[in-house]
Every structure is written in structure tokens, then in C-alpha cells.
Structure 1
Amino acid sequence: MLVIHNTLNRTKEPFTTIEEAKVKMYCCGITTYDYCHLGHARTCIIWDTVRNYLQWIGYEVKYVQNFTDIDDKILNRATKEKTTMKKVSDTFINAYFEDMERLHVEKADAYPRVTHIVEDIQNLIKELEKNGYAYTSEGDVYFNIQSFKEYGKLSGRKLEDLKTGASGRVSLEDVQSGKKRDSADFALWKKAKSTETSWDSPWGKGRPGWHIECSAMIKKELGETIDLHVGGSDLVFPHHENEIAQSEAVTGKELSRYWSHNGMVKVDGEKMSKSLGNFITIRELLDRFEPMAIRLFVLQTHYRKPLDFSNKSLVAATSSWQTLSDGLLFGHQYGEKLGFKNNSSVELLPDLTQRFQKAVDDDFNFAGGLVVLFEIAKSLRKESNLLIHTGNTTSSPKLLEEQWYTLKHLAGILRLETDQNIADTSLSRKLTDEEINELIEKRKIAKNAKRYAESDLIRDHLKKHNIVLLDMSDGSTTWHSN
């Protein structure tokens, strides 16, 4: 049985859904003013894997992740670059999808943008105002935090201990000018300055506050109560706390049955920040390390624990990925020789599959599941070495194929996958010179990165096309066809 740690109750609980075998899941996404960083990579990889795992154990999942495309940081960048807020957002949303694709993060079922649901946000604010939970002040609208008696139930904070500006998006000027009744009240609608992008509203021209956006998007995309709300632990307070207050004040129902939060990312033991000069974008990381090594690095640490990045840790993850990659390529390299069927009649090994599921069912312990994957990969690598040096294996071809098939299946749940385009390319047509040279270049890159199983796979694939490679002393490779 799947149990997950529920931030709301601070304990592990059996996972049960509102509707049998269906999960409504929402993840707080990025603010679209810059390239995504390592922290974003962790959040997106973790919850993408959770979604995939839930589907594997039999749930139908509707997964929604938002884009915050209204924010001071976006407006400031647009002003600095003499462009529009939309152009800035579109640029970094496109970059987000490019980065996520390289990390094998599958797209969510919906990506609502704040600018697309301003009317829904306004309607939610009107309801809050009508029911006495919100008040207007000089063109702004604030949530009256004293009106929601359960405020603090997610974070455990008490009203008297709250500090103004905890979200980083609330100005001290609002309190000092007397615009807010209480220092902990937060903005639902902000009066626009003359130079800002704005929308007409019953309170004058303005734009939504940060917290109300997610409440409106969840209500529109998933309904009044969802099964699982996720995001980084930095969002527990005030963002998720404020979401609960806004949503539950209107509906009278719980916003989410379960709340799960991933830990923060550190760089060499320090909090990642631009001011410390240790801010790392996903793109910078992908220029230095393989995408699957990065994904593996993230999954090797339990999602609720802090993740400490260093060059040394990524080098170790790269080595670990090589082990898994060797195992995943085993059937492509030796399957024909061993007589693998390579079809759907091959069965998963139940003992390995059950061990994997038992580990992951304990609060999405993907690190525990990886232990099973490495066990299989190391076994296959040992058999690979025996094949190379003796031409024989200690296990039967049937067992080896079942091990390989099980490894591929379980790794696929974690989206740890090799590029099988090379291995699976059809032999029914002749390769062009351009395709041959492209494969040779890929082989060279693989060899330089010491991904020898991959480079051997390319060589063997070319050999099947009657292309013979000659590695020259100067490091170049020439070829001729038989």
C-alpha cells in the first residue's frame, strides 16, 4: 500500500483518493522571468516521476502545473529589455519546455497561465469580498487573515508570530501607509502603476496577487478539492498556506487531501542564490553533464531531504548512470546472439518488481527503488564481460532477457532511458553518408565521455549496415562499406 508524508498532518498516511483509481494532482510551476535553475529541475523531476509511478500502480492521473506569467520580476525584465511581459514569458516558457524535454520530464496535462484566467481570479476575489474575507484599500484588495480561523494549519505558524513580507512579494509600505489592516494580510489584487500591464476590474485597473492565482487555477482545472498538491518546501509558507485560506474560505471544503513538498537544493553546502555566485541554471548543467546523470542524481536522494549539489556528486552520478546505461543496452548488444524474443511475451521478474514497488510505496522512496535497478544492471554487466571474454554466460538466455526486460520496465517508470534510436533503427534501407558521419560523431562523443557501451552499440549498428570503421592514430575515424 502506498503511504505518503502529508505536510498538513506532519505524518505518513495511506494514500486514498476522492474518486477511486483517479488522482487530481497540482504542482506550483515557475515564474517566467528567467531560465530554470537546479531547484526547478528537482521539483519537476520528482513530481513528474511521482505522476508516472501513480499511473504505473493503476491510477488515472490528471496533472496540472501552472505558469506565473504576471509578476514584478517579469515586468522589470520587460522594462529593462524594452519589450513586453508576454514576450519575456513566452521566451522562458519555451526554454522551460526545451530543458524539461532533455531531462525526460513529460508534459503535464494542462499548463494554465495567469494571464489566461484573470476573469476567474476576479470572480474568486469577488466571492471572498462578498463573504467578508477580503477588503479593498486604495485600489488594492487584501485577504483579511483574521477572518480565517484555521490559518497556519499547514505551516504550523501562529498569527502573532508572522512577519510582514515573508513571501518576498509583500511590501512594508502597505503596512506603513495604513493600507492593510493587519501586517499579515496579503494582496489578492494590486492596483497597477501607470507603466504596468493591467486589467480592468471592479476595483480599478490592476493585476492579481501571487497567491490567488493558484487557487483560481486549481478550481478551474481540477475542482474544489484535489487529491495531491505538491511543490518545493519553500512554498509551504506563505504561498500554500494562503492558497488554503483563499480556497477554503470560498468553498468550505478542504483544498487538497494531501500536501507533499520536496526539499531545497544546496550548492557545496550553501543555499543556491545569485548573490553567492553559485546559481546554476539547468542549461549550464546540461552543458557539463548528461541529462540522465542529472535525473539520476536527483532521484538518488529522498525527495523530502535537502539535495546538495557539487561537481563531485554529479561525477559520481555520471558513473552510476554508466552502470545503468550498460544494463539498459545489454539486450541491444547481445540479444540477437542470445536469441532474445524482444517482445511482449517476456515476463517481468516478480521478486524484483515487488521489491521495487515495496520501496517506492514508502513515501515515494525512489532511492530505495534504484537499489533494485542497480542490482540488475550490475548482474547484466557481469554477464556482458563473460560474453566478451569467454563467449558464454552463467545465466540462461531466458533469465537474462527477463532481467533486461525488468530493468528496462522499472527504469522507464523513473524515466531513466537510453537513446534507443540508434539500436532500433530499421535495417531495411541503406544509410546515407550524412547519417553515417553523424553516427560516427555520436560514437566519438560517447567514447570521449567513456560511455563505451554506447559507442560499441553504434559501431555494431553500423557493422550491420556493412559499414566498417577504422580508428586512426590521430583520433579521427574513417569508414568504408563492404
Structure 2
Amino acid sequence: MRTWTPPEIPALPGEGIAPKLFNTATGRMEHPAIPEGRALLYVCGITPYDATHLGHAFTYLAFDIMQRAWRDAGIETVYAQNITDVDDPLLERANDTGVDWRTLADEQIGLFRSDMHRLGMIPPEHYVAVTEQIDEIAQAVRELKERGFAYEVPTEGAVGFDIYFDIDAAQQSSQWRLGDVAPYEHAVMLQLSTERGGDPERPGKRNPLDPLLWRSAREGEPSWETPVGEGRPGWHIECSVIATKALGGAFTVQGGGEDLVFPHHEFTAAHATAISDTPLAHAYCHAGLVGYHGHKMSKSRGNLVFVSKLLNAGADPSAIRLGLLAHHYRSEWEWHDADLDFADRRLASWREGVRRESADPASADAVLQQLRAALANDLDTPVMLATLDAALDQGVDDSQLITDAVQSLLGVTL
């Protein structure tokens, strides 16, 4: 899948610090393993039926900043992202609007690429749509069946059987254990499964939490003829296959929004581990959810603030980034329309500050080291912004260094 043009990232003097990151799976701050100075990052992509709102942007900005931190520390990065371009929400939206599902997906993928480019996000080296790897995903499902980690469930009104992952078998015969990624109580898992695409009440399942691997063909739905029958993939196995094909096993960070911890990242890890006997990732990092008008931004509520609408109305991409970067990436917070006005004022103040002549300027070298220290502390962008507020209010002795640092580390143009 075609990606977008990368932003300019100025080289800075010296070298930054590899960031310590909060690992959801362990509940600790850690330095994930980076063998041979090469960080491998996988971030779950969009389901392209209504892109891109500020909740999406906040998530992808977090992992953009993570890559900037690694690169500043002299670490090579390899970034992979998927596109879930065949899934129930996409098909439902296409049906509701009378638009062909492929046309809708192509339109929204194009919009997402444009939004990411205009916001200055680092593009993935591997940008892969599910429909590009149907055969590979089906082969993974067949392998799970052959290893005894999957089973068939009879399905009314369908050709063949639905195929489910066998949690209990995987726990007995692989390295993965339920809760490895999402250390939640069982009752919470059942609730989240119901809310986030699972079907714990489905008759014929061996364990209510067992996730769908392969959905057999239904009338009116897209399907593919494969070695495991005609149908289409389940959600989690898609990311397992795309991630490991692009990055291999035990890569550095699996990332996404907090709402993906369970069931998506738990079972993505389960499937990959059951197939390869290797853990999926060293660390699992998650961005907080963004609210608007008192509720989490969601398509079902319709309380979305779209990036494209802000940009097309004249918003400065750097101001949008600053409005988001004012919040730590793991925090849950609410966007207010006035946030963009505040970010505009901050951006104007910074742009004035780099031109300010001062009798007692701040040391740009010292400011750079403070920025790097905050970035190394679990990507603490609010501290970085406060540091720059103070320095640029005082004036600095090397405006070009600060201009380059702000663009390199925060993706903000002064």
C-alpha cells in the first residue's frame, strides 16, 4: 500500500537518550530491548470508514514522537502499520451509505494519508492492507488448526464453518498465557470482549473469550477462497500476520490506543506466539483516549473532531500538534475547541521567541539537553513544552539550534 512523503527531520548535535517507556504488559517503566541499535515498531492502523479524528491523531502522534526520540538517540527505526480494510464496521457503513465498501475504504485511506502527511507524521516503511495478505492470513489460520490451537464452530446461513482460537489449548502448549498483555480480571475481559467486537455468548465456543480467526462466507459480504475455506479473516490474526511478516518476532514495541489492550493486543500476541513459539513484542505501549463534549470520541456517538476539517479551515498543522502534545501520551483527556486557540497562541509566542534579542539569553545547548531528558522519560511532551515556553520567553543564544530541535523532536515548525 502506498504511504506518504516523510517530513524533514533536522540532525541535531550530540546524541539523545533512548526513552524509557511504560510497558502496559508489566505495569513498569522499562527500556525495551533494541538489539543492534534497531528499534522495530508496529502500530495498529485504521479501519477506513471515517478517518481521521483527533483521537486517531493523538495515538499516531505518540508513536511519531517515539520514533523521533529513537532516531535522536542514534537508533535506526523500522515502522509497520496495517489497514483493516475489510471488517464489520466498514461493511456496515458502506451498506448504510450505499457506497461500495472498496470505494469507501480507498477514499478514507487516501484521506488518512493526506492527514498524516499534513501533520508531519513519520510514515511507516511497511504499510499493509489486510486485503493484500489474505492468503498469508489464511495460511496462519491453517497452521493454528494443525497445531491444535483452533477449532470449527457450525454457522447457520454460511458456507462452511467459522474458526475460533482455542485459548485453553494455547495456554497449555505455548508460551502465551491469558493476561500476558492485558492483566485484567476475567469479568473485565468478558465485558470488554462484548464491547469490542468479541462474541462471548456465541454457542459452540469452548471458552467464551475464544476469539474469531476466520469468518466463513455470508451472502452479501466480501469473501476469498482459501485453504481454510471461503470467507475472510478475524481481526486479531490480521495484525499477528502483518506485524510478524514485516518485523519478525519479539520486535521492540507493539503500539496503539488504550482501547486495543484487550482483546486486540492480547490475542494478537496469543496468535503470533502460538504460531512461532516466540513472543510478539518486548513492550506494549498505549496512548490514552481523547474525549469531546463529555465522552470519548467515537463514531457511534458522532462526537468527532476531524483533522481534515481543522486543516481545511486554516488550522496550522504545528498548532494541532501542539494542542495534542500538551497532554502526555498515556493520559485520558478532553479536547475543547479553545485548545486550538491556546495552541495557536503558544506557537506564535515560540515563533516570536526564536527571533527575540535578549540581554540574558538562555543556553540553547542546555535547553536541548532538557528536552532530551524529558523525551527520555516516557515521552514527556508536556515538560518539553513548558521548557520551551520558559526558554523562548527569555530568548535563546542560538535560535537555529532551538528551531531545529523543535522540528526534529516535536515535529513543530517555527
Give the TM-score normalised by structure 2. Answer: 0.86
- The offset of 1:201, in angstroms, is 2.1
Q: Are 2:85 and 2:130, in contact at CA under 8 Å, matched by a contact in 1?
A: yes
**Residue in structure 1 matched with residue 123 of structure 2 by the alignment:** 107
Equivalent in 139, 142, 158 of residue 126 of structure 1: 142
Amino acid at match of 1:3: K
Equivalent in 56, 60, 84 of residue 100 of structure 2: 84
Aligned residues: 379
CA distance in 1, matches of 2:94, 2:326: 38
Q: Are 2:68 and 2:408, in contact at CA under 8 Å, matched by a contact in 1?
A: no
**Residue in structure 1 matched with residue 112 of structure 2 by the alignment:** 96
Q: Are 1:359 and 1:366, in contact at CA under 8 Å, matched by a contact in 2?
A: yes
Q: How does 1:83-482 map to 2 (within 5 A)?
A: 83-138=99-154, 139-149=161-171, 150-159=177-186, 162-163=189-190, 165-166=193-194, 168-171=196-199, 175=202, 178-274=203-299, 276-286=301-311, 287=313, 289-328=315-354, 330=355, 349-380=364-395, 400=397, 402-418=398-414
Superposed CA RMSD in Å reads: 2.1
Q: Are 1:327 and 1:404, in contact at CA under 8 Å, matched by a contact in 2?
A: no
CA shift digits 1:186-237 (9 cap, x unpaired): 1000012121110012332100001110000011100122111111000001
- The offset of 1:148, in angstroms, is 2.9
**Residue in structure 2 matched with residue 421 of structure 1 by the alignment:** none
- The offset of 1:45, in angstroms, is 1.4
Structure 2: 5+ residue stretches without partners: 1-16, 155-160, 172-176, 358-362
Q: Are 2:139 and 2:227, in contact at CA under 8 Å, matched by a contact in 1?
A: no
CA distance in 2, matches of 1:69, 1:227: 25
CA distance in 1, matches of 2:194, 2:323: 31
CA shift digits 1:82-126 (9 cap, x unpaired): 443222111101000111122111221121110001111111111
Amino acid at match of 1:315: D
Identity of aligned residues (%): 31
Q: How does 1:54-93 map to 2 (within 5 A)?
A: 54-93=70-109
Q: Are 1:353 and 1:410, in contact at CA under 8 Å, matched by a contact in 2?
A: no
Query: Computing the radius of gyration over CA atoms, which structure comes out larger, 1 or 2?
Result: 1
- The offset of 1:81, in angstroms, is 4.3
Higher relative contact order (CA 8 A, sep 6+): 2
Equivalent in 13, 31, 47 of residue 14 of structure 1: 31
- The offset of 1:361, in angstroms, is 0.7
Q: Are 1:359 and 1:365, in contact at CA under 8 Å, matched by a contact in 2?
A: yes
Structure 1: 5+ residue stretches without partners: 335-347, 381-398, 419-482
Amino acid at match of 1:70: V
CA distance in 2, matches of 1:276, 1:214: 27
- The offset of 1:276, in angstroms, is 4.4
Q: Are 1:38 and 1:281, in contact at CA under 8 Å, matched by a contact in 2?
A: yes
Q: Are 1:190 and 1:207, in contact at CA under 8 Å, matched by a contact in 2?
A: yes
Equivalent in 17, 21, 26 of residue 4 of structure 1: 21
Give the TM-score normalised by structure 1. Answer: 0.74
CA distance in 1, matches of 2:246, 2:301: 38
Q: Are 1:226 and 1:257, in contact at CA under 8 Å, matched by a contact in 2?
A: yes
- The offset of 1:374, in angstroms, is 2.2
